[in-house]
C-alpha cells in the first residue's frame, strides 16, 4: 500500500541509514547473506591494506581470514562508535597481520631491495624525475626503518597512513585510546626520522 502522506514516506536519511555498514551488519545477524554486501563494499580497501603490509602473495588469504573473523564476531560491532565498518575491518586485518609477521618482514625486505634497484636505474632528466629519483633513493631506507619499528608503533602509523584513518578511527580499530594512538604515531615518526637521518649520513 503506497504511503498516504508525506510523513509515511521513508526519508532519504532513513534510507541512507538502512544501507549503512552498521545496518548491513545488524541485518546479517538474522540474514547472514547481508554480510556479503559488506564484503563487496570493503574488499578492495582491505586487500590494498593487506598488500601494503605483507605483499601480494598472502594478501588474499589475509583478506579472507579477516572477513571470516569479522563475520564470526559481527554481533560485537558497536554502531554507537560509528556506522562505518572500515576501522573495525582494518583493525581485524591488523590483528591478523600479527600472525603474518614473518611475511611482513619479508615484504619490507623485498621492498627495500626493489627500491634500491629502482634508485640505481633512475635517470633524472627533469624536475619531476629528480623528485622521483629522490623518492626512489629514500624508499629502501624507509622500508628498512619500518621493519625496525615495533608492531605497537608500526600498526597505528600504517593504519593512519595506508588505511587513511584519522586518529580516532585508528583508536577504534586497535581498541586503544586516541591519546595512545597519538603518542605511538608520534614516537613512530620520531624513530623513523632518526633511523632515516642515520642512514643518510
Alpha helices in the chain (DSSP H): 12-18, 21-28, 35-54, 56-72, 86-97, 101-121, 127-148, 151-161, 167-174, 178-199
- Whether 157 contacts 175, CB under 8 Å: no
- Whether 101 contacts 78, CB under 8 Å: no
Q: Please, which residues have CB within 8 angstroms of residue 136's CB and are 6 or more apart in sequence?
A: 115, 118, 119, 122
* Predicted local distance difference test score (pLDDT) of residue 112: 65
C-alpha to C-alpha distance for 9 and 77, rounded to whole angstroms: 29
Provide the grid cell at 125: 632528466
Domain boundaries, the chain: 14-199
Per-residue pLDDT of the chain (201 residues; tens, 9 = 90+): 444 444 445 555 555 447 899 999 999 999 999 999 999 999 999 999 999 888 888 899 999 999 999 999 999 999 988 899 999 999 999 999 887 776 777 777 777 666 556 555 555 554 544 444 444 555 677 778 888 889 999 999 999 999 999 999 999 999 999 999 999 999 999 999 998 887 555
* Predicted local distance difference test score (pLDDT) of residue 124: 52
Q: Please, which residues have CB within 8 angstroms of residue 63's CB and are 6 or more apart in sequence?
A: 43, 46, 47, 50, 93
Q: What angle do CA 116, 118, 123 make, to 5 degrees?
A: 120
Q: What angle do CA 195, 87, 163 make, to 5 degrees?
A: 40
Amino acid at each position: 500500500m503506497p504511503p498516504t502522506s508525506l510523513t509515511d514516506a521513508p526519508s532519504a536519511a532513513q534510507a541512507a541509514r538502512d544501507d549503512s555498514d552498521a545496518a548491513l551488519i545488524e541485518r546479517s545477524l538474522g540474514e547472514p547473506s547481508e554480510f556479503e554486501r559488506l564484503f563487496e563494499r570493503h574488499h578492495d580497501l582491505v586487500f590494498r591494506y593487506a598488500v601494503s603490509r605483507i605483499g601480494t602473495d598472502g594478501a588474499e588469504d589475509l583478506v579472507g581470514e579477516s572477513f571470516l573473523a569479522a563475520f564470526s564476531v559481527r554481533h560485537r560491532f558497536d554502531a554507537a562508535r560509528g556506522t562505518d565498518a572500515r576501522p573495525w575491518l582494518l583493525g581485524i586485518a591488523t590483528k591478523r597481520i600479527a600472525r603474518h609477521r614473518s611475511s611482513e618482514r619479508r615484504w619490507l625486505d623485498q621492498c627495500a631491495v626493489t627500491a634500491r634497484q629502482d634508485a640505481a636505474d633512475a635517470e633524472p632528466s627533469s624536475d619531476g624525475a629528480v623528485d622521483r629519483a629522490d623518492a626512489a633513493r629514500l624508499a629502501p631506507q624507509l622500508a628498512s626503518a619500518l621493519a625496525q619499528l615495533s608492531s605497537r608503533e608500526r600498526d597505528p602509523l600504517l593504519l593512519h597512513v595506508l588505511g587513511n584513518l584519522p586518529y580516532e578511527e585508528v583508536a577504534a580499530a586497535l581498541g586503544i585510546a586516541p591519546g595512545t594512538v597519538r603518542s605511538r604515531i608520534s614516537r613512530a615518526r620520531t624513530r623513523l626520522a632518526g633511523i632515516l637521518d642515520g642512514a643518510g649520513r
